[in-house]
Structure 1
Amino acid sequence: MSQSNIDLPARLLLNLAPWRNAKAWHIAFSGGLDSTVLLHLLAKLAKTESLPPLSAIHVHHGLQSVADAWPDHCRSVCDALQVPLHVSRVQVQPGASLERAARDARYAAFVEVTRANEVLLTGQHRDDQAETLLFRLLRGAGVRGLSGMPRQRRLGKGYLLRPLLDATRADLEAYAAEHQLSWIEDPSNLNQHFSRNYLRHQVLPVLTARWPQAIASMARSAGHMGEAQGLLGELAQIDLSQASTPGDFDWLGLPSLELAPLEKLSDARQRNALSHWLEPLTNLPDRDHWSGWEDLRDATGDARPIWRLAEGELHRAGGRVWWLSGAWLRPPPAVGAWPDPALPRVLPDNGVLALTGQMPDGPLQIRYREGGEVMDLPGRGHRDLKRLLNESAVPLFVRGRLPLLYKGQQLLAVANLPGLDGSTADGWKLCWQPPSEDQGLS
């Protein structure tokens, strides 16, 4: 028995010390070796230590018939350890990567059970970290990817923790043998069609035969990369603080940055700052697909550049770059009559509209711009709406969804634009709360 195996419970407690005040600890319990050891360790520690309430979650993917027996196995293990078990049955969406689709379904189930001030514990260990590093290296990952699996990260409203990352698979096997634990052997783990299994069974044994410390060295490199990524994050925050200036259209509620401070940075610092900013919003492109950013950045003033990404689009307007997703990418449906202007009006796919102050005489209608609109302004006469929008520097992507208030064929007001949004003399104003849901923010 190795010295490291003897210290496994103590090391686990040390790694989890900052999280002892969490409301609950959920254990991701597949029934395999790693999660079985983690569950057993925590159940034993709970008898002598004051720990948050423990529970286990088993995700049943339904991808292979043999897996139908796994929930019963997990239930018997949890019953013996007196740990409550939740079984979550998920649908794995078909796609190019079955591994990724299953992972996405699994983590969606984890998010569902992990509430605020709760943590989900998973059993990944140092060998898994080495596999992750090697797998990402072969895919050409950057510093963020090569930092491997983080020890902790946000998960929905709670956190995901990997408290066994400094233990080896051999440590876990020795603990399981000592305590005569039984676990599930997933047949798919032998299928070397899956890249990680190929690395585990074919590549890493060759590496460790030549360099016995290879796994420890790779895990250490992942730690160095994690530290480097932290420094890049701090640099990004410095650069983003220069670009996160207030603008005239902050009321849109859209993420935006001032372009000029970004343009002063080197290309590498631009990519670093934007990656940091975009990471919570969308999947990021690899290094070879940043030409969309360069086209947007370098476009002439009268161009309408758009950089399309996985979960939305980056637009350029008014000296700023804007993140659009969800409802902002769909033209709002027509609205029509406003029967009771005293009540706020929900606009399909376009937020909420309200009139404040003395109500104008009706009947009133809500429309969107089609072109050719004219507005009669006190002291200025008839003015083209297009020119008025240009004078107000309204971003082009907003113009087609700005609510317009009509009485018959007369354009009375344009929501939210000072001087155009109502009547000072009559004491009313048209106020628009743009769409805030389905923005793609996480």
Structure 2
Amino acid sequence: MSDISALLVHALNPWRKAKAWHVALSGGLDSTVLLHLLVQLRKTHALPALTAIHVHHGLQAIADAWPAHCQALCDGLSVPLQVVRVQVRAGSSIERAAREARYQVFAALTQADEVLLTGQHRDDQAETMLFRLLRGAGVSGLAGMPRQRRLGDGDMCRPLLDVSRTALEKYAHAHGLNWVEDPSNAHSDFSRNYLRHEVLPILTRRWPQAAATLARSAAHCAEAQGLLDELAGQDLGGARTDTAFAWLGLPSLELAPIARLSPARQRNALRHWLAHLSRMPDTEHWAGWEVMRDARDDAQPIWRLADGELHRAGGRIWWLSGEWLQSPCAPLQWLHPEAPLALPGNGQLRLIGDAPQGPLQVNYRLGGEVMTLAQRGRRDLKRLLNERGVPLFARGRLPLVYCNEQLLAVANVSGLDSSPCGRWQLQWLPTSSDQGLS
């Protein structure tokens, strides 16, 4: 068994019992060698079912020939191939847009207990580490590409991160493999290509093991990030307390346990918590967190991030995104209260029990609303919501049900959400906050 094969077997050992392995096949050197290695290994090892996926971006005329090349390669190796064509959205970075489109395909095609295998190698890891270093990345960024991570309902693995490009080229030549070359990889106006063609060769002439050393540093950073993640989990544990407003369905943390930590641990805990909610702010924008943390109790501070907002209310911080940042549409006529009412941009409203008589209308707060309560008479709705500690950001989304211009109930708010005799109750199922990134 070759050295590369031995490294591959070791890297893939955790995934030997997976239902299927999918190879992300671009037709380039690394993915071609990876596929060939796997085909050779399955002659002597019991491996999961093997397939290949080629994503055709259609960004270059020459790329139109690559699906046929991949098909010929897979036919010769007796590996099923799936070719998926995608539309890449225009934007500031065509590389990023193409990558996002590609990984959306991979995530959709990788099912539970299946693994997507990609061919990034040690030189790619060195480039990534150096590129992120020059962009001022922290420990997480300097950890480079992870060896494995979740992808869709399955997992993704990069089993060649300990193998150099030179070793892959030697293997390819030794086995007579052909591969395609992306002409854009030669353009040094792209930052990563500039590092690959202009910077790393200079470093390698002075330090021959530069790529290996950079990759090793990335591994050290990955280990350090793992420790930071463990610390964040411990620090967040004390802040994941219960709230009377869990029915909002929003991610939230108690502020006090976070504020008692050192500033560095605060940032570490919040990065960990926000990782699957939003892209992280740069160093300068972390001042927004300090403003929110130190605001007066009666203030309404908001920290706006790339993919949503953090609001402070009731001694907690709340994550809002998606429809929560838009005003719901109203008023609405509720002609059939025996059936749930879909609220445009605001979830669903239900009436449990015997519906009140008369035409019902659903609206939202505009200010100045008054509600009549048994034994208390007429009361300002603002005061009633203050008494119950309803977060300010939620008040404009609470469905209000009227009959003949009289406010009957406020959904989900204890003491305000039902009839005085308990014959019916108003239940609101809010829209889910968009908690994930593509």
| Short-chain TM bin | over 0.9
Shift of 1:295: 1.4
Shift of 1:361: 1.6
- Residue in structure 1 matched with residue 192 of structure 2 by the alignment: 196
- Residue in structure 1 matched with residue 312 of structure 2 by the alignment: 316
What is the 5 A alignment of 1:333-352? 333-352=329-348
Aligned residue-pair number: 438
- Structure 1 contact 151–162 (Cα < 8 Å) conserved: yes
Amino acid at match of 2:4: L
Amino acid at match of 2:138: G
Amino acid at match of 1:341: P
- Residue in structure 1 matched with residue 428 of structure 2 by the alignment: 432
Shift of 1:426: 4.1
Q: Percent identity?
A: 66
What is the 5 A alignment of 1:178-327? 178-327=174-323
TM-score by length of 1: 0.97
- Structure 1 contact 12–164 (Cα < 8 Å) conserved: yes
DSSP 3-state at the match of 1:94: coil
- Residue in structure 2 matched with residue 104 of structure 1 by the alignment: 100
Distance 1:76 1:271 in 2: 51
- Structure 1 contact 335–347 (Cα < 8 Å) conserved: no
The equivalent position to 1:332 in structure 2, one of 318, 328, 351, is: 328
Shift of 1:424: 4.5
- Structure 1 contact 345–352 (Cα < 8 Å) conserved: yes
DSSP 3-state at the match of 1:431: strand
Deviation per CA, 1:248-283: give whole Å up to 9, x if none.
Answer: 111111000111111111111111000000010111
- Structure 2 contact 115–156 (Cα < 8 Å) conserved: yes
- Residue in structure 2 matched with residue 10 of structure 1 by the alignment: 6
The gaps in structure 2 that reach 5 residues or longer are none
Deviation per CA, 1:126-170: give whole Å up to 9, x if none.
Answer: 111111110000000000000111100111211110001111111
Distance 1:174 1:43 in 2: 18
- Residue in structure 1 matched with residue 152 of structure 2 by the alignment: 156
The gaps in structure 1 that reach 5 residues or longer are none
- Residue in structure 2 matched with residue 25 of structure 1 by the alignment: 21
The equivalent position to 2:139 in structure 1, one of 143, 158, 171, is: 143
Shift of 1:439: 4.3
Amino acid at match of 1:211: W
Shift of 1:359: 2.2
- Structure 2 contact 250–433 (Cα < 8 Å) conserved: no
The equivalent position to 1:404 in structure 2, one of 400, 405, 413, is: 400
Deviation per CA, 1:327-385: give whole Å up to 9, x if none.
Answer: 10111111422111111111111111111123222221111111111111000000000
The equivalent position to 2:32 in structure 1, one of 30, 36, 44, is: 36
Distance 1:48 1:409 in 2: 78
Give yes or no for the alignment of 1:61 onto 2:57.
yes
Deviation per CA, 1:156-213: give whole Å up to 9, x if none.
Answer: 2111100011111111111101101000011111110111111111111111111112
Deviation per CA, 1:18-58: give whole Å up to 9, x if none.
Answer: 11111211101000000000010111222332211111111
Shift of 1:441: 6.2
DSSP 3-state at the match of 2:378: strand
Distance 1:241 1:400 in 2: 31
TM-score by length of 2: 0.97
Distance 2:69 2:144 in 1: 31
- Structure 2 contact 321–433 (Cα < 8 Å) conserved: no
Distance 1:13 1:155 in 2: 21
Distance 1:288 1:426 in 2: 53
Give yes or no for the alignment of 1:131 onto 2:127.
yes
The equivalent position to 1:49 in structure 2, one of 27, 45, 48, is: 45
Are the structure 2 counterparts of residues 95 and 441 from structure 1 closer, same or farther at C-alpha, using a change threshold of 3 Å?
closer
The equivalent position to 2:70 in structure 1, one of 47, 68, 74, is: 74
